[in-house]
Each structure stands twice: as structure tokens, then as C-alpha cells.
Structure 1
Amino acid sequence: MQLRVAFASSDRVVIDQHFGAASAFAIHEIGLDTSRLIEVAQFIETAMDGHEGKLDAKIALLDGCSAVFSEAVGASAIQRLLSKGVQPVKVENGTTIDSVIAMLQGELKEGPTGWLAKAVNRGTPKAVERFADMEEEGWSE
């Protein structure tokens, strides 16, 4: 299971930006024991001027991501992200990308809950789940 997760970060180390005003996103692919940086997207306009149009490019970039971690995110951006299946997650100032990756990997190993469980289940084909349920009930070929 591999998850794509984005981080609003100016330096690819610390999550240090507001979603709407982020100058860059670092997108990582995270597995149980591995993670790798797969994309860095930088934006020119970073002023928080209240224009909703600037969110379009940022939200489109996150297609395929399970979550985006930032210092803050506005209400309209939250609604738009959730409608695309991307969970916005607010973190404390100074939180490092590596610490979040380690936390996500730990939760994946222990059994994900909340939004992470939903993201994992989205990646599991329904037929596989159905057959696993049938096997637990004692069905066989």
C-alpha cells in the first residue's frame, strides 16, 4: 500500500506554510517501511489576497493525494479538498515532514484509523474486500 501525501513546505523539511498561500508542496509516496519524495511543485503567487482562483491549481496538483499537511487551511479550501478526496491536516508550527511520515507509517502498521483508514480502503478493490469477508465467514470454492 502506497499513499501519496503533500506537505506545504518552503524547504522540503518543515511544514511551514498556510495551504492557500503555500509557495511549494513536497509530495511524498509513503509505504509501510519506505517513503520517497516524488514531486515538488512551486508557485509564484503566494499572497493571501482572498481570491479563490489561486486554489484551483493547488487543488488540481493534489489529485491522487490522500492528504495535505499545512499550518492552516481556510474553510472554502477544506470543502474543496474533501470533495476531491484529499484530507486537509493542520499541524503545529515547526512540525517536520519526516516526523509526520514516521507517524503515518506507525499508524499504517498498527492499523489505520480515521481519514487514513478511509484512504487505505479507497486503494483496496471492493472485490478483494468482498472475498476476504466471504472467507472469514467460512465460504470456499
Structure 2
Amino acid sequence: MAISLSPSTWNSLGLGVAATWAALGLAGGLRPAAAADLFGITALGSGGRGDGKSGADRDSMIGFAGVLGSRDMTIALTLLYLGRAGRNADMGAVILSTMTITAVDIWLVWRKKKGFNSELGVLTVGSLIWAVIGFGLRGHFD
């Protein structure tokens, strides 16, 4: 069964992916400790400074979350620009190329959590949905 949607519907779905990337970027920026913890970067005890052996210091966590947030916002803004310009195929290419990012994110969360959990499930299912949207924007379901 083919997925037959209009180009404007695919464009709207692509803008939904952009909104999700923006939400992830904002969440990482507003809650750096939670973002760092999701990927296995944990703070140390009092004061946030450590001995360098048992975890990351507070500055490292904030730096990691900043890089993560700026990465996600860059992707969101790129998709927004392409979507507003009606460049569906290019939007699909960007979404599909981010599958390498999401694959590494999933692997990092899996490695940290030592198995399947709800966070890993959301990341995996979300990535699969994004891949379908990316292929749809590229015209593979026409």
C-alpha cells in the first residue's frame, strides 16, 4: 500500500519535523542536566567540579547541552527555511541525512541505559517516522 499524500501535506509533515528538532533544541538548552543525563554525562557531587575520573563537571554538562541544542536548532531552522521555500526534496534530503545523527543518539542512549526503555522507544519510533517523512518529501511514495 503506497502512501499517497499531496506535496503540501508532505511539506507540513516536514515542518512538523522542524518543530520537533526545535523543541528538542530548546529542551536541551533549558534543561542541560537532563539532556546530559539522557546521553550518559552525569554531574559530580558538591559544586559540580570533579576529579576528572568519575563524571563531568557542570561546565561540561552545560557545554554539551549547548552543542546539542545548537545542533538541533540549526537543523530546525534549515528545515523551516526549506519548507517555507517549498523545497520538499531538499527538506527530505536534510531529514534523511539527520538519520545518522539520530542513529548515534539512539546508540548513546542505549549504551547509557543498558537496554530498552521508554526514552529509547520514543527516539527509535520518532526516527522511523522522520525517515518515512524524509522519503515522502523526496517523492519515494508517489
TM-score scaled by length of structure 2:
0.26
* Structure (1/2) with the larger strand percentage: 1
* Structure (1/2) with the larger helix percentage: 2
Greater relative contact order, per chain length (Cα 8 Å cut-off, separation 6+): 2
